[in-house]
Structure 1
């Protein structure tokens, strides 16, 4: 796996070698600037980035990053063309370098995640993550779990981009992970996130008939209106980045279908509120060595018609 290093022009990362695509983008930026007769010094003040860094960008020695390229696109009146060109280079560059999703996500404009079983990792509390690790890997200390990408935990006080949209099955809310307290804290954290300006949460009610998301979790990462990636997380290893354009479009369309099957954001938040109130009840826990009767295990998944009607 290629090592990564931070760059000065934005939040993106790139490996220190094999950068064949950036010179082409840099030449395009320089040509656009010169055609409009914009002095580099003027552009520095508008883009809020150093002149040395901009010279490196135009020379193809730096990735400008999404923030800077959006400013340049606006200054040049490119109507998104430069952003699309950057996104294409950024994706192809990182795919060739073998980058993982945690090295790619920070330059995404929007991340959409679907979760049918448990709340996805970047929405998790630390205790929820550790409980899942203990259940999946009972013989491995938590600090040794390093083979799976870990995105920074989302915070309710943060702001986008990236903007996040989560669709999850209601079953993921009712599934107790290790203890009622751990689960309740996780749901309270999810509620805070759902109220943040850069995060939207939609819940597919338990009573919903068969829907097309039952095969597993996936994400889509959009870097521009025309360029995206899809990602499927795995219990072990880095997961799978989907780079084929046809399959990516399929995941984008699938997410739109699942979002349509879910409750609106305000109704989802009300459902989340009720679920938090119910977590004091005893439920079977996902933890090593814990057992529960069939009746106990079935209880949390009973469909409450009155509650669903109120959510709708």
Structure 2
């Protein structure tokens, strides 16, 4: 068992979070079980977080802040903790994504991370991170908080029609994911367009990519392979990819026609489904 006294608070955001939780809990003269009862969890969970063996959630952090009267210390710290759970090669992009004023993305395989439902994201992560699924899921959901800011980034997404038909998780998961995409029509800063099969060859045939734009910093281009990401501010690359993205937007369906297609696929492919495992009655 990890001895919490041996934890190095400077080792990682998670270690620092755990050491601070223990320090402030003890200052409040509360045992792990007593704090657990206040924040509706077990003493074991408190112990696991204090020993950096469990990643805290934002909900847990908010409850601890209220219980210990910390003035929001853990609610602020948990963002760093969750970001540190992302793959090391992806963290630089996530940091820049959170600072971007404009995000343009073309996705050929899956829905962009900022637009995913929790169940859709979990089904994807279950394939790539079977041993760290919960931590990766919490980190991905944390990324989405930038869309809820008072001044969120402008997000333009061109999604290949193929990802509407590729079932990720159950039919219900897909139905909810497509309904979620339709829900973004109510957000003026988010635009979703579908690149239909009928477009044929197009400017995104090389694969998915993102272009980030900032108020004061140079634009960035980002693309990734199986287990690595490539990010560059090379002006020629930015120029080429920006033109390519503009062509994708021009080729894709309008946001209104895209919504019609999403709704049609949602109903025709993922409409009312029989309960899984239900046996036919003879």
Which TM-score band applies after superposition, normalised by the shorter structure? 0.5 to 0.7
> Is structure 2 residue 154 aligned with structure 1 residue 163?
yes
Match of 2:100 among 86, 99, 108: 108
Match of 1:130 among 122, 127, 136: 122
Query: Which residue is 1:304 aligned to?
Result: none
Does the residue aligned with 1:227 lie in a helix, a strand or coil? Answer: coil
Partner Cα separation in structure 2 for residue 258 and residue 245 of structure 1: 20
Match runs of 1:47-58 below 5 Å:
none
> Is structure 2 residue 77 aligned with structure 1 residue 117?
no
Query: Which residue is 2:207 aligned to?
Result: 216
Which protein has the bigger helix share?
2
Match of 2:167 among 156, 159, 176: 176
Structure 1 residues 215 and 194, CA, compared in 2 at 3 Å: closer, same or farther? Answer: farther
Partner Cα separation in structure 2 for residue 151 and residue 233 of structure 1: 20
Contact 1:219 1:230 in 2 (8 A): yes
Structure 1 residues 193 and 156, CA, compared in 2 at 3 Å: closer, same or farther? Answer: farther
Match runs of 1:61-210 below 5 Å:
100-137=92-129, 139-143=130-134, 145=136, 152-153=143-144, 160-210=151-201
Contact 1:156 1:193 in 2 (8 A): no
Superposed displacement of residue 213, structure 1 = 0.5
Match runs of 1:24-39 below 5 Å:
none
- Scaled by the length of structure 1, the TM-score of the pair is 0.53
Superposed displacement of residue 244, structure 1 = 1.3
- Scaled by the length of structure 2, the TM-score of the pair is 0.58
Show structure 1 runs of 5+ residues with no match. 5-97, 284-312
Partner Cα separation in structure 1 for residue 246 and residue 184 of structure 2: 21
CA shift digits 1:271-310 (9 cap, x unpaired)? 1121221233699xxxxxxxxxxxxxxxxxxxxxxxxxxx
Structure 1 residues 209 and 223, CA, compared in 2 at 3 Å: closer, same or farther? Answer: same
CA shift digits 1:5-62 (9 cap, x unpaired)? xxxxxxxxxxxxxxxxxxxxxxxxxxxxxxxxxxxxxxxxxxxxxxxxxxxxxxxxxx
Show structure 2 runs of 5+ residues with no match. 1-11, 14-89, 274-282
Partner Cα separation in structure 2 for residue 254 and residue 208 of structure 1: 14
CA shift digits 1:67-125 (9 cap, x unpaired)? xxxxxxxxxxxxxxxxxxxxxxxxxxxxxxx9701112222111011001110111101
Query: Which residue is 2:264 aligned to?
Result: 274
Partner Cα separation in structure 2 for residue 200 and residue 132 of structure 1: 23
Question: How big is the alpha-carbon RMSD for the aligned residues of Structure 1 and Structure 2?
Answer: 3.1
> Is structure 2 residue 248 aligned with structure 1 residue 255?
no
